[in-house]
Structure formats: C-alpha cells, structure tokens
C-alpha cells in the first residue's frame, strides 16, 4: 500500500475505548462505532484506525483480552455492514491483538511502540505481508510526559525510528510495507513538537511514507489558549496543510472532513508549485 500513495491520505480515528483523551466512551458500542465509521466514510476517509487501548498521557495498559473484546466486533461489523474494501488499521502494540484484528478484516498495523513492546508484531507483519506504521515514543503512555528531554529532538527521533525500521527489516518486513511516524505528543515537550513539525521534511527524506498525528493534541491548545480538545479542529487542519507542503502523505485525525479539505487544498497548491 505504502509504495503507491498518489495523494495525501486521511486516516480517521475510531477509539473504542472508555478513556481516550478526546472521544473516550463515545464509540464503545457497536451502533455508535458503526455510525461514526459511516460518517467518516461519507466524508471521504481513506483509512479507519481502530484502537482498543487509550494512549493518552498517563493511561495505563489494557490487556490483550480486553483489547480484542473491544476491537474485533467493530472490525467485523464494518466489514459486514459498511465496506469490504476500505483499509482498516489496528492500533495496538500487541501481536496477538494485531493478529486477531487481521483475521477479522483489518489490513494494516499501527504500532506506537514500533515493535518495542512486542517484537512479535514485526514478525507478524512480515508473515502476513501487511503494512505497518512504526511510531516514536519516549517511554510508555503512563509515564511519557513525566520529564521528556532531548538535546536535538529531530536527530534523536530520526535515529530512534531508523533503529526500529532496521528491526522491522531484519524481521522480514518488506521495505515498501513500512511507514514512519515521529510521534507528536508522545514523550515530547511543546518545543519538541514544534521542532519536529518544522522538520517533517527530514523524515520524508528517509524515503519512508510519513504519518502525522497531531489531532486535537494538548500542545496546540497551549498555543491557542484552548483547553477543550474538540476546539482544536482548525489548529489540527493547519498542521495537516503544513505537513502536506513538507511531503507527509498520511494524517491520523478525529475530524475527517476538515482535515481532508486542508489536505486537498494544500496538495493542489503543492502540485501547482
């Protein structure tokens, strides 16, 4: 999939969790999850990313069994009632959850730990020949914001991601099945996030497609004097447009319509240039 991206892709977030930072508890039932998936499809989503574990700052781990109970019925329902072909990503760090999701109809893996939490997830991606997104995180969600520190955040994150890419390749994952994510907000200070956003082109220069996930994140609220995540739709769209200009090809967002508009206009301008 990653070797033939011809335009920026919008990955819509479907959190089937009770405690996600922005939409926790809104889509834990099958009916509400399906309705939200249908809404995103109608707004032109390219990928739906389904997760059963919150990764907000301070969140604790969720067991494999509980994640499977949360995500599998939703994946099966989307495949049965909405679309047999729409790409579905499973957002998990655990290989058994990813395997169950792929068996249920998911088509790619989004691992915020890039195989650190469970190295078998890399072997699974290789064995099933599915795309995998490798994200950078400093620590675990429950402690990542305790005291993050970098001397040179761009260089250090690039180096850490390259290590995880090498691990994936060593596990047998095909190069064209790998995408990377700098992990905005995952163990970073506000200035770290801004430095990464100002240097997304350096991640694009690795040759691996880049996924950007800034949607409704707290550091933008501190810039805009906004406290409610749902009020950061315009701020998120601004980062989407800037990401397109720097060559980012995938955007993980809560608000599909607004970010698709931002991506489409930015892409047209970039093509004209």
The answer to whether residues 250 and 47 touch, using CB atoms and an 8 Å cutoff, is yes
Catalytic site includes residue 217: yes
User: Exactly one of 56, 70, 164, 252 is catalytic; which is it?
Assistant: 252
Whole-number Å distance between alpha carbons of 248 and 244? 5
The answer to whether residues 240 and 262 touch, using CB atoms and an 8 Å cutoff, is yes
DSSP class per residue in 99-121? HHHHHHT--EEEETTTTSS-THH
- Tell me the two tokens of residue 268: 């047209």
The answer to whether residues 174 and 162 touch, using CB atoms and an 8 Å cutoff, is no
User: Exactly one of 70, 217, 218, 249 is catalytic; which is it?
Assistant: 217
DSSP state of 150: -
Determine the angle formed by the axes of helices 30-42 and 64-81, rounding to 10 degrees: 50
Whole-number Å distance between alpha carbons of 263 and 254? 14
List phi, psi (to 5°) of 99: -65, -45
Catalytic residues: 217, 252
């Amino acid at each position: 999939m990653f070797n033939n991206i011809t335009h920026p892709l919008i990955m819509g977030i479907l959190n089937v969790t009770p405690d996600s930072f922005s939409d926790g508890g809104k889509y834990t039932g099958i009916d509400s999850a399906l309705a939200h998936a249908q809404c995103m499809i109608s707004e032109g989503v390219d990928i739906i990313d389904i997760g059963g574990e919150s990764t907000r700052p301070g969140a604790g781990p969720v067991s494999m069994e509980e994640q499977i109970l949360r995500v599998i019925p939703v994946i099966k329902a989307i495949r049965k009632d909405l679309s047999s072909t729409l790409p579905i990503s499973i957002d998990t760090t655990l290989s058994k959850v990813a395997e169950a999701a792929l068996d249920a109809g998911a088509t790619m893996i989004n691992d915020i730990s890039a195989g650190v939490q469970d190295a078998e997830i890399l072997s699974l991606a290789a064995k099933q020949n599915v795309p995998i997104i490798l994200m950078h995180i400093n620590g675990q969600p429950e402690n990542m914001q305790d005291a993050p520190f970098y001397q040179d955040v761009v260089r250090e994150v690039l180096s850490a991601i390259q290590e995880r890419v090498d691990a994936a390749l060593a596990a047998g994952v095909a190069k064209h099945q790998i995408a990377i994510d700098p992990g905005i907000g995952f163990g970073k200070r506000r200035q770290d996030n801004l430095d990464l956003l100002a240097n997304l082109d350096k991640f694009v220069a690795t040759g691996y497609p880049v996924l950007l996930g800034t949607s409704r994140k707290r550091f933008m609220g501190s810039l805009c004097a906004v406290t409610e995540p749902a009020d950061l739709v315009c701020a998120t769209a601004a980062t989407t447009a800037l990401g397109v200009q720097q060559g980012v090809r995938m955007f993980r967002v809560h608000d599909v319509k607004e970010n698709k508009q931002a991506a489409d206009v930015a892409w047209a301008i970039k093509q004209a240039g």
